[in-house]
Amino acid sequence: MTEYIRALAQDAARSEARRMLASLIPGQTGINLADEVADAVLGAAQSYQQAGTFAIIRHLVDWLDQANGTGETETARRLLKLTEEVGEVSSAYIGTVGQNPRKGVTHTNDDVADELCDVIVTAMVALHRFTDNPGQHFAAKVQHIADRVLVKEQP
Ligand SMILES: [Mg+2]
């Protein structure tokens, strides 16, 4: 999952590159050119990175399907699992600040990062139940969010 976090950081770097390109070439032409270059780089990188990650998740989904079946109850349980994992993020974070005086500091930032990765993986597994192409759906969603944010940031 470290690779997944690194991929997100690289995507953020590409967004920054898009912003820098737009500032180097003033006016609407510069913005359009920067968007085209950034989109091409981002799209190629995302396709490559997510193909690997989603291939691994696909194996996890197949394993779960074989063990637990594929009915509506299993779908609901996979969504419930997501809530469980989010709770573990909160628990780990609380453990980093020693909020419970009886327990003191029980977790590290690395523990929180691990729990966040559990949330991401669990969501990726659940995502397979609602779309035939989870990798493509995810990439499109990330692009949509990036576009929305970048549009707001442009003068
Ligand atoms: Mg967990």
pLDDT digits (tens, 9 = 90+) for 143-154: 898 888 876 665
pLDDT tens-digit profile of 69-101? 999 999 999 999 999 999 999 999 999 999 999
d(Cα 96, Cα 118) in Å, to the nearest integer? 18
Contact 117, 1 (CB under 8 A): yes
Domain that holds residue 52: 2-153
Report if pTM > 0.85. no
For residue 112, the tally of other CB atoms under 10 A from its CB is 19
d(Cα 56, Cα 63) in Å, to the nearest integer? 11
Tokens of 134: 């989870």
115 CA from centroid of ligand 1 (Å)? 5
Tokens of 2: 């470290």
125 CA from centroid of ligand 1 (Å)? 14
**pLDDT attached to residue 7:** 65
For residue 5, the tally of other CB atoms under 10 A from its CB is 13
126 CA from centroid of ligand 1 (Å)? 15
108 CA from centroid of ligand 1 (Å)? 14
The total domain count for the chain is: 1
Contact 61, 125 (CB under 8 A): yes
Contact 47, 139 (CB under 8 A): yes
